[in-house]
Amino acid sequence: MDFIWCCFVRRVKPQDHVAEFSTEKKVRLFFYNELKTATENFCSSNKSGRGGFGTVYKGILRDGTAIAAKVLSAESKQGVNEFLTEIDVITNVKHPNLVQLIGCCVEGKHRILVYEYVENSSLDRALLGFRSQKVKFNWDIRSAICIGTAKGIAYLHEGVQPQIVHRDIKASNILLDKNFRPKIGDFGLAKLFPDNVTHISTRVAGTTGYLAPEYAMQGQLTKNADIYSFGVLVLEIISGRSSSMPYRETDKLLLEWTWQLYEEGKLKNLVDPALVDYPEEEVLRFIKVALFCTQAAARRRPSMGQVIHMLSKPTRLNEKELTRPGLIPESKNAVSSNSTYSITEFSRSPLTHTQMAPR
């Protein structure tokens, strides 16, 4: 046998620099040499990406199974904590739009997560990468990626106990299978939310451009932070542009530029020029849903269940309820957990929408 099944219930000594791993979950343990063989000694030609605190390699197990082996940086104390968090969060959490964890290696100093292999790499490479890496996505593929990702987040927020906040929803963490079905990966920053907890005050972690203002500036983490990040992601998918790169014409970042176009009634200008023959009304609805998700007042953002409904069906959005997006002021790249940020308060009435009559 090349692997064993292990039930993790352990308390690690402080000098091991490893977070306590207290949940009882069965994990398939791989031997280091098996993964070394599968990845051809972690050959650079098998490198498929680099995530937070680790490099990812494609490998083939002896039974022919394709895997993605995420090798933790050896000297990273923070990375080891993240490694154990990722096992704790995703083991036994299964959904078509989440990357499946197969097992791990904890042999000696080696820390390796073993995932299912996803054929079409990450969304940021396929859609936002260099021209040679880009894939020509039609609207059907883009809309399916939006809805599939929404379903994955909704499952984390509403389908498991305790509920999970991912904390790092972004294009590079959305992987695409051979049919371009999206799968959310990289759970190292995720937080578990017991039923009786509404928010957590925590060290800010995530990616500039996707961070909700109340989280980036105050460290207040709720499910609304994921919803904000998802809204930004939808704008990237529709525009084909990165949220962190200013538009040359205006020197504004994607979200700010989108709001300006909305106020001017020119949302069509946001659509990726490479996207042709698209249903205009549906695309504009997706953009407006993204703006609802990124509102400055976190409590005004819809739940992911509402988001799925609005994206999946021809609904008429109540735009009177739509308020300005939340933007990190001035230096849009500065993120500090010690900073303070005042979010303008708006009416607390819930988001409403009415379903359009079918044609």
State the burial class of residue 6 (Cβ atoms within 10 Å of its Cβ: 0-12, 13-18, 19+).
middle
Is 168 annotated as catalytic? Answer: yes
Out of 16, 63, 88, 168, pick the active-site residue. Answer: 168
Sign of the torsion angle spanned by Cα atoms 197, 203, 209, 212:
positive
Partners of 104 in the β-ladder: 29, 113
Report the candidate in 119, 235, 80, 215 with the shortest Cα–Cα distance to residue 170. Answer: 235
Q: How far, in Å, CA of 185 to CA of 168, rounded?
A: 9
Please give the structure tokens belonging to residue 349.
């009435």
Which residue type does 17 have? H
Dist CA 296 CA 304 (whole Å): 17
Residues 120 and 67: their CA atoms lie apart, in Å, by: 13
Q: Which residues contact 291 (CB under 8 A, 6 or more apart)?
A: 231, 258, 259, 262, 322, 325
Separation in Å, CA 150 to CA 142, 197, 273: 12, 22, 24
Where do we find the tokens 């790092």? 168
DSSP string, 172-236: GGEEE-TT--EEE---TT-EEE-TT-S-EE----S-TTT--HHHHHH-EE-HHHHHHHHHHHHHH
Tokens of 241: 């542009």
Q: What is each CA distance from 38 to 29, 32, 35, 67, in whole angstroms?
A: 15, 10, 5, 8
Region for 92 from its dihedrals, namely left if φ exceeds 0, alpha if ψ lies in -120 to 50, beta otherwise = left
Instruction: List the structure tokens of 318.
Output: 């109540």
- Catalytic positions, please? 168
